[in-house]
Structure 1
Amino acid sequence: MVHRGELTDQQWEQIKPLLPQGGRQGGQWRDHRQVINGIVWQARTGAPWRDVPDRYGPWKTLHERLRRWSADGTWERIFEHVKTTVQAGEDGLDDAVYEVAVDSTVTRAHQHAAGARK
């Protein structure tokens, strides 16, 4: 069952070749697709890592993979590929409308946090 916000089969086939193969010595990595879906869920919801649903695997695994792939350029390769694919019109979204949502939430600091007189 595919949940909202998870990779479709078409999306997965496009980015699968861009991901590192294998895992650490002596171990096998958790399914990349499952991990990416978990990372996307956390980014989309803004929930703490510990609250990521169990179906995506241990939160520590997701966080470690995010950190590792950020450091080795994997995410950059994925985003560049997606950008190039969309710009070339190869994604089947020629007539789609693209939206960008910017959250402008402002949280006021407590008066003591701002250095006010105590």
Structure 2
Amino acid sequence: MARFDVTDAEWALIEPHLPVAATGPLPRRVRDQFNGILWRFRTGSGWRDVPERYGPWSTLYSRFNGWAKAGVFQGLMDALIAEAASRGQVGLELVSVDSTIVRAHQESAGLAVAGETLDALEQALTEEKGAALEQQPPVLRVMRHRPYPARTAGTVRTRRRTTIAPPRGDAAGPGPRLPGSADPEAG
């Protein structure tokens, strides 16, 4: 057994939750394969770098891929958490949320509030600060967004097209002549 392989006690908890085919031969070395999958993710290496004591890397990858698609790992986590909870070993110290990975949706940038709710917020703000909304500093004021004007059935928004006109001669005379071109006034 290698340094970070699962212990006999851990394997006794894990083994019942790993699937075994109803027919056909029992998979040999399932514990080694499970340890190989854990080794790969613990070290962050590629599948081809898994030590040979866990079996061929392609077998490990196939086993992991099949288990992941079948939801075996999620079921295993749920079962282990339930087992720990039944023993009274689950606490909030196990929960960890790193703010560097929490992302806000693009729609969270603006707040859309219904008119009644906005009026209630303005009233509460006025009562709390003791001043009318217009007299409060801009940071505390609730800004109302102006809705876009409603379009009638016959109006169509068009975009003004701009074109670049070809260069023309200025008021002083025609533009520059190219060498070898005929002089129009020499006629």
TM (norm. structure 1) is 0.68
What CA distance in whole angstroms lies between the structure 2 residues aligned with 1:22 and 1:54?
Answer: 25
Aligned pair count? 98
Tell me which residue corresponds to 2:82. Answer: 84
Equivalent residue letter for 1:31? R
Deviations 1:43-71 (CA, angstroms, capped at 9, x unpaired): 00001110100100000111111110111
Q: Which has the higher contact order (CA 8 A, sep 6+)?
A: 1
Percentage of matched positions with identical amino acids: 33
Larger radius of gyration: 2
Residue 22 of structure 1: CA displacement?
3.7
* Most deviating of 81-90 and 36-45: 81-90
**Does the CA contact (< 8 Å) of 1:42 and 1:52 recur in 2?**
yes
**Does the CA contact (< 8 Å) of 2:20 and 2:26 recur in 1?**
no
What CA distance in whole angstroms lies between the structure 2 residues aligned with 1:22 and 1:47?
Answer: 29
Match of 1:42 among 40, 44, 54: 40
* Most deviating of 66-75 and 80-89: 80-89
What CA distance in whole angstroms lies between the structure 1 residues aligned with 2:18 and 2:84?
Answer: 19
Residue 82 of structure 1: CA displacement?
1.1
**Does the CA contact (< 8 Å) of 2:35 and 2:54 recur in 1?**
yes
Residue 72 of structure 1: CA displacement?
1.2
Q: Structure 1: any 5+ residue segments left out of the alignment? A: 105-118
**Does the CA contact (< 8 Å) of 1:23 and 1:29 recur in 2?**
no
Residue 87 of structure 1: CA displacement?
2.4
Tell me which residue corresponds to 2:56. Answer: 58
